[in-house]
Amino acid sequence: MYKSLADGSKQKLNGNLVYVDKADQSHLLDNQLIDEDYSGSATDKHTDVSDDWTANEGILLDLYSSEVSGNYTGTINWTLVQAP
C-alpha cells in the first residue's frame, strides 16, 4: 500500500493488510484464505462479499503507529476458488 504525497510521489506504508472476521479475530493477509460463506444461486454473476461487513470487519489496513493519517491507494489481486 502506498500513500500519495503532495508532490505526486508515493510513500510505501509500513503495515499489513488484515482480515477481521465477525468474531473480531484479526488474520494477517499473507497468502491466506478468506473463507466467505456464499449460499446464492450458482447462476449469479456478481457477489459482494463485503456487503455484510461492518466498518471494523473485512479487509483492513493495519498501519504501525509511526504512520500518518491520509488517503491511501492500493490494489488487491483476488484468486477465487469454488470448493466444497
pLDDT digits (tens, 9 = 90+) for 37-49: 555 555 656 667 7
Q: Cα separation of 72 and 15, whole Å?
A: 12
Q: Which residue has the higher pLDDT, 72 or 36?
A: 72
pTM across the whole model: 0.59
- Section 17-45 average pLDDT: 72
User: Percent of the chain beyond pLDDT 90?
Assistant: 6
Joined grid coordinates for residue 67:
504512520
- According to DSSP, the β-strands at 15-20 and 58-63 are antiparallel
pLDDT on residue 57: 92
Joined grid coordinates for residue 6:
503532495
Buried (b) or exposed (e) across 33-55, using 16+ Cβ within 10 A? eeeeeeeeeeeeeeeeeeeebee
